[in-house]
Structure 1
Amino acid sequence: MADEPDKSEKTEDPSEKKLQDAHKRGDVAKSQELTTWFMLLGTALIFSLMAPFTAGTLTGMLKNVMANADQYEIGEAGFAGFWNEIAGTVLLVALVPLLILAGFALAANLVQHAPVWSLDPLKPKWSKVSPLSGAKRLFSKDALVNFAKGLAKLSIVSFIMFLVMWPERDRLDTLVTADPATLMLTFQEMGIKIILATLAVVTVVAGLDFMYQRNKWFEKQKMTMKEVRDEYKQMEGDPKVKAKLRQIRAERGRQRMMQNVPDASVVITNPTHYAVALKYEAGMSAPICMAKGVDQVALKIRELATEHDIPIVENPPLARALHATVEIEEAIPVQHFKAVAEVIGYVMRLRRVRSWSAKSS
């Protein structure tokens, strides 16, 4: 369509939102070859495990029919019961294999993508009934790839069947006179050989097709620079997104602030509700606020100060005033110089006393 951007303009990887929106619409990467691989695997399982049971059940039913053939009369009520019995037996025999194949088909889809519940693929679209769109799809790159895959699979499976059946050509002539049990075992053996050989080849085809489909789908989801900017503006305008971004920024800022606490010279507390960590070294024009907080944040600051042997001084008026007027990594206001100088002087005297005591001991 004319409104759709050219593929050459889609240079940016899709955002998480773009991928989620595609998934909600039912637009997911899916390889039909991988589904075929799972179905073949299920068929091999059925042949190897269910064939004896199936053969025995059907053989028993046929023997019973042959033994009591004279009891069924066409047009009588018993004849309907006869067909009901046959239908019930066949349905019972076929039910378990059908359930196994359904389970493998479901697993094939779950392996490729998470469950999708969307009505979007069912909505009527003009492009699906348009002759022009149909002609484009018929001669598209995907159609050629699918045609090549189908031709390759048909050729490979035919060749495999030839390789399996040719050595058994003399044995096949004797199957006409073989008893049913031997006949079923022979068919089971040959069927498993054909399925396993085909499965080995389809494994390679399915792997390559899965990577191709994933890459094609990812390329289709790519965005233009305009789409990236529009999506960013849309997300920025969402109140929930804004609140989430503010929460993330606040959390990162708190983490950076806590990393500054070990570099502080003193922590001034309320003592329980406020905590302000200050740093002062010789040559600095004024002490700098390294961290501040109330309640739980204040408690964490005090815990880090205790862990790193940083002096904690209780001065409720000064702690509240500094918390209200100074920002992180900024110098304290001039009006608090005198009070903070007294606290730092006290801390420096305390350190000298501790140092003298350590040397004398």
Structure 2
Amino acid sequence: MAESDGQERTEQPTEQRLKQAREKGQIARSKELGTAAVLLGAMAGMLMLSGAIGDALSTVFKRNFSLERRQIFDTTTMMEGLKESTLSLLLPMLALFAVVLVAALVGNILLGGINFSSDAMMPKFSRMSPLKGLKRMFGVQALVELLKSVAKVVFIATFAVLLLWSQFDHILSLSQEVLPVAMRDALELLLWMGLVLCLALLPIVAIDVPFQIWNHGRQLKMTRQEIKDEFKNTEGKPEVKARIRRLQHEMANRRMMGEVPSADVVVVNPSHYSVALRYDKDKPGSAPVVVAKGLDEIALKIREIAREYEVPIISSPALARAIYHSTKLDREIPDGLFVAVAQVLAYVFQLNAWRKGRGRRPVPLKDDLPIPDEYRV
């Protein structure tokens, strides 16, 4: 069905759409299923409780149709009879009502489940519009419902006529039976015929339930634009997400730059890479940790801060690239780079001692540090 925006509802509803529809009370329901469940439950209950109900009715009839002369002129007889009749019928009728209630609940939750929607209970003034009411009365949906009702009446009436015709001889034979037996036989026949007649609703239910499921899915179908809009609303607009990522990246960079002054050395590739390392000599067995790393502009900023705080800067392109690609921020370097990094740190510590007047000037680092092939980039 074409929409006003020119798009057709060709896409299956998303989980979000189904959830919103359920919150609004828009779920698949079958009136035929509920009706069939109530009628079948009532007839089954009457068959199960027919003995108790029959005994209660017999007691009521005997009590109210066998009065003495004294009771006829007693004004309290009517109320006493009503009280006794009510008490006699109370338990079997309550049991029957309980069976019907359970059948009604089960029949209405079999399709769609249990759902409480405050939105569906709220009054909607649009439903009070006479114009919209006329559209509903003479619309396509109303015509479909009318045809369904006519078809149901014709089907049930035909089934009832055939059922009566099949039991016609049995019904006529009731006149040949004595009164108590005839009443029991007639009641039993009536109940079984009622149950069979209710079973005629099952083919209607078998047609209506799949139709309601299909129609519910059709009504909730979405256009591609609606799916895109829902995704944007759920996941966030791309421009907003990009801005959030940018702000998070900037905050992370600021925190990272704040760690550069505490580094023991910054290993650089003069063109692109900078990696700041810190080694805690007071923790035996610990390895150097990457406290900052970056490319291009961030690499230049790391070097700038390092110079400002007099953190030694060592140029080793291969080692800088190896550490950058193999180690995450705030993580220890891998075992394969221990030897190369140890040589760098040893050189830096000796250089710091020499500058303070302790020890000799260290031998410059070799250009070819021992970096395993798997870490070379």
Q: TM-score range by the shorter chain?
A: 0.5 to 0.7
The answer (yes or no) to whether the contact 2:340–2:369 under 8 Å persists in 1 is no
Report Cα offsets for 1:183-217 as digits up to 9, x if no partner.
23333234323422541x32221121111111111
Gap change, CA 1:8 and 1:104, over 3 Å in 2? farther
CA distance in 2 between counterparts of 1:197 and 1:212 reads 23
The answer (yes or no) to whether the contact 2:174–2:185 under 8 Å persists in 1 is no
Pairwise mapping of residues 218-297 of structure 1 onto structure 2 (< 5 A)?
A: 218-237=217-236
The answer (yes or no) to whether the contact 1:161–1:194 under 8 Å persists in 2 is no
Gap change, CA 1:64 and 1:235, over 3 Å in 2? same
Aligned residue pairs: how many?
276
Report Cα offsets for 1:253-285 as digits up to 9, x if no partner.
xxxxxxxxxxxxxxxxx98999xxxxxxxxxx9
Q: Which residue of 1 aligns with 2:257?
A: none
Q: Which residue of 2 aligns with 1:185?
A: 185
- The residue type paired with residue 28 of structure 2 is A
Gap change, CA 1:207 and 1:169, over 3 Å in 2? closer
Q: Which residue of 2 aligns with 1:325?
A: none
Q: Give 1:236 deviation, angstroms.
A: 1.8
Structure with the bigger percentage of helix: 1
- The residue type paired with residue 220 of structure 1 is Q
The answer (yes or no) to whether the contact 1:160–1:198 under 8 Å persists in 2 is no
Q: Which residue of 1 aligns with 2:126?
A: 127
CA distance in 2 between counterparts of 1:318 and 1:90 reads 96
CA distance in 2 between counterparts of 1:116 and 1:60 reads 44
CA distance in 1 between counterparts of 2:201 and 2:287 reads 68
The answer (yes or no) to whether the contact 1:47–1:191 under 8 Å persists in 2 is yes
CA distance in 1 between counterparts of 2:188 and 2:339 reads 88
CA distance in 2 between counterparts of 1:40 and 1:293 reads 71
Q: Give 1:95 deviation, angstroms.
A: 1.5
* Bigger relative contact order, structure 1 or 2 (CA pairs below 8 A, ≥6 apart): 1
Percent sequence identity over aligned pairs: 25
Q: Which stretches of structure 1, 4 residues or longer, exceed 6 Å deviation after superposition?
A: 270-274, 285-295, 316-319
- The residue type paired with residue 49 of structure 2 is M
- TM-score scaled by structure 1? 0.62
Q: Give 1:103 deviation, angstroms.
A: 0.6
Q: Give 1:223 deviation, angstroms.
A: 1.8
The answer (yes or no) to whether the contact 2:47–2:191 under 8 Å persists in 1 is no
The answer (yes or no) to whether the contact 2:11–2:221 under 8 Å persists in 1 is yes
The answer (yes or no) to whether the contact 1:14–1:221 under 8 Å persists in 2 is yes
Which secondary structure does the structure 1 equivalent of 2:12 belong to? coil
CA distance in 2 between counterparts of 1:173 and 1:336 reads 117
CA distance in 2 between counterparts of 1:193 and 1:209 reads 24
Report Cα offsets for 1:84-142 as digits up to 9, x if no partner.
22233334332211111111111112211132111222222233222221111112232
Point out where structure 2 has 5 or more consecutive residues left out of the alignment: 246-283, 289-320, 343-365
- TM-score scaled by structure 2? 0.60
CA distance in 2 between counterparts of 1:62 and 1:273 reads 99
Pairwise mapping of residues 1-361 of structure 1 onto structure 2 (< 5 A)?
A: 5=4, 9-68=8-67, 70=69, 72-73=71-72, 76-175=75-174, 178-199=178-199, 201-237=200-236, 338-341=369-372
CA distance in 2 between counterparts of 1:55 and 1:337 reads 106
